[in-house]
Amino acid sequence: MGIKAGLPRYELYLYIAVLAGALAWAASWIVEASSGECRKAFKGSVKPGWYYFGRKMDVADFEWVMWFSTFRNHILFALSGHVIFAKIFTLLAPKHRSLVFCAYGVLAVLVTMGWTFTALVLSHCTVLYGVAVFKTKWMCFAAGLATLASIKLEPYNSWQEKLVTGSFDLQDVLFYGGCGFTIMRCMSFALENCEKKEGNYTFCDLLKYNFYLPFFFFGPVMTFDKYHAQANNTKLTRKEREMWNITTKAVLHLAVILTVDAAFHYLYILTIPGDMKLVSRLSDWCLAGLAYFNLVYDWLKAAVMFGVINTVATLDHLDPPQPPKCITMLYVFAETHFDRGINDWLCKYVYDYIGGDHDKILKELLATMSTFAITALWLGPCELVYIWSFFNCFGLNFELWVAKFFSISPFSTMEVCMGEAMSRRIRGLFNAANFWAIVLYNVLSLNSLEFAKLVGRRLIFKGFPLSTISVLLVTYCGVQLIKEHERRQALLEDEQPVKPLDGGKEKAE
């Protein structure tokens, strides 16, 4: 279908009003539910916050508290040191800046985690490099996945974890993050080495790739081919207004951090789902809003944490994986992810490699099953991960089945005859239902299976027809706004003139 015909202005304003009113209504219910901050079930995850306002703070998310409260100064110190050293040596010896990145990264890991952890990471690199030189993809995958399983499955992970000396609050997080991302990077290195026509990349290339500190512990994963090309680029220039854009993004991230911090004093969206007695008494609208806001928060967290790291990487003249697409903008499973780095890795080496153009049902089934099998191993095999993987795998395949079904006659002919506006509205209804499938399939991994089941029962069965139809109606309005935004973006991209490969006007640092 074409993209020129847009929504009438009155219809656009109506959708905005309905969506804004519904979100405000749901938020008001959540604020009321959060007023019971003295409940026994809240004591473990609601701590003193704004004393002068008499508000306590939701601290249920360890990652957020770690990044922006407990270990904020440590993380800022390490990243600031990296920026300073990187800037100095980029000016003095641009040809060797990747080596400087590596040296600073190794030193930071050594100081933070000790020599035994550093030796363990080096052993993973050595083993996978030894496999990479054979240039056989199945061997690279087998060795990489076996190494990944060794830090995810008992008793091998406990044995390796005991090698790390010392004891501090972040030890487990840094251990599994550092080892896990190291193995994914080593697999990328090995698979790219298989594509190299002559010779092999060196072990030093692997170390420089792996020990880039901003990506080391928390990601995102940047595939080796991209990192190697960008980190070894000696023609270091800045596009026009690039520094202004970097500064603007940094200020935006700070504003989001402050907004989320304020929200945690009034909306206990992470703590409330853990109290099933309270949740069972909430209205259908409150439950729907709670599930939605949980996914929005998880996207915000990923966007801010990866955004902070990406800002540092951009200062180093890298083009890192961008933050994930906003959950509000998602209405198809094919675009659903919360870590664009891992998503790009899986798409390049597994999903697109097996699935091809993603037009064949059996190939798509094999591609999605393989992709989510590796994802389950990456997340750590357990019942909840298996359930999450199954439903998201099913969602991806179901979208293809539906698309195939409606592409045959007479449905394809009917869509052409009914006109673009009506086609967009019918697709919007399907997309609205798909949006809530995405929410339900993913909220179980963020909260609990019991909470996801309760939300599903209330919205689909007990709340039918009033709650079900009203929630889908509001979601339909949101989907139409998203489609209109995408249509306008597509028109803008079509109107933009083709720029030269050098990016136009640039300036040297």
pLDDT 10s digits, 7-65:
677 777 788 888 888 888 888 878 777 776 556 667 778 787 777 777 788 888 888 88
Lowest mean pLDDT segment, chosen from 44-48, 232-236, 307-311, 327-331: 44-48
Residue type, 258: L
User: pLDDT, tens digit, for every residue of 431-447?
Assistant: 999 999 999 999 988 88
Q: What is the mean pLDDT of residues 326-346?
A: 86
DSSP 211: T
pTM recorded for the entire structure: 0.89
pLDDT reported for residue 226? 95
Please check whether residue 273 is in contact with residue 449, taking contact to mean a CB–CB distance below 8 angstroms.
no
Instruction: Look at residue 498 and tell me whether its pLDDT is greater than 80.
Output: no
Which candidate, 182, 90, 196, places its Cα nearest to that of 133? 196
Which candidate, 384, 311, 279, places its Cα nearest to that of 80? 311
Q: What is the mean pLDDT of residues 99-128?
A: 93
pLDDT reported for residue 145? 96
pLDDT reported for residue 374? 96
Lowest mean pLDDT segment, chosen from 92-106, 295-309, 408-422: 408-422
pLDDT reported for residue 506? 43
Residues 6+ apart with CB under 8 A from 344: 221, 223, 321
Lowest mean pLDDT segment, chosen from 103-112, 372-381, 469-478, 496-505: 496-505
Residue type, 497: P
In the structure, what pLDDT confidence band is assigned to residue 496 with cuts at 50, 70 and 90? Answer: low
Mean pLDDT score of the chain: 86
Instruction: Look at residue 501 and tell me whether its pLDDT is greater than 50.
Output: no
Please check whether residue 345 is in contact with residue 224, taking contact to mean a CB–CB distance below 8 angstroms.
no
Which candidate, 340, 318, 319, places its Cα nearest to that of 101? 318
The 3-state DSSP class for residue 508 equals: strand
- Using H for helix, E for strand and C for coil, what is the string for 427-473? HHHHHHHHHHHHHHHHHHHHCCHHHHHHHHHHHHHHCCCHHHHHHHH
Q: How far apart are the first and last CA of the chain?
A: 46
Q: What is the mean pLDDT of residues 394-422?
A: 85
Instruction: Look at residue 72 and tell me whether its pLDDT is greater than 70.
Output: yes
pLDDT reported for residue 99? 94
Name the more confident of 474 and 47.
474
Domain ranges of the chain: 9-61+277-289+321-493, 95-232
Angle at 188 between CA 173 and CA 250, to 5 degrees: 55
Distance CA 56, CA 54 (A): 7
User: pLDDT, tens digit, for every residue of 267-322?
Assistant: 888 888 888 888 898 889 889 999 999 999 988 888 888 999 999 999 999 999 98
Name the more confident of 81 and 237.
81
Instruction: Look at residue 160 and tell me whether its pLDDT is greater than 50.
Output: yes
| Count of C-beta atoms within a 10 Å radius of residue 13 | 11
Instruction: Look at residue 125 and tell me whether its pLDDT is greater than 80.
Output: yes
Q: What share of the chain has pLDDT > 70, as a percent?
A: 93
In the structure, what pLDDT confidence band is assigned to residue 348 with cuts at 50, 70 and 90? Answer: very high
Distance CA 276, CA 223 (A): 42
Q: How far is CA 486 from CA 6, 328, 336, 428, 473, in A?
A: 10, 13, 16, 13, 20
Q: How many CA atoms lie within 13 A of 402 on its CB side?
A: 12
User: pLDDT, tens digit, for every residue of 174-207?
Assistant: 888 999 999 999 999 999 999 998 899 999 999 9
Distance CA 136, CA 190 (A): 9
Instruction: Look at residue 493 and tell me whether its pLDDT is greater than 50.
Output: yes
Instruction: Look at residue 505 and tell me whether its pLDDT is greater than 50.
Output: no
pLDDT reported for residue 21? 87
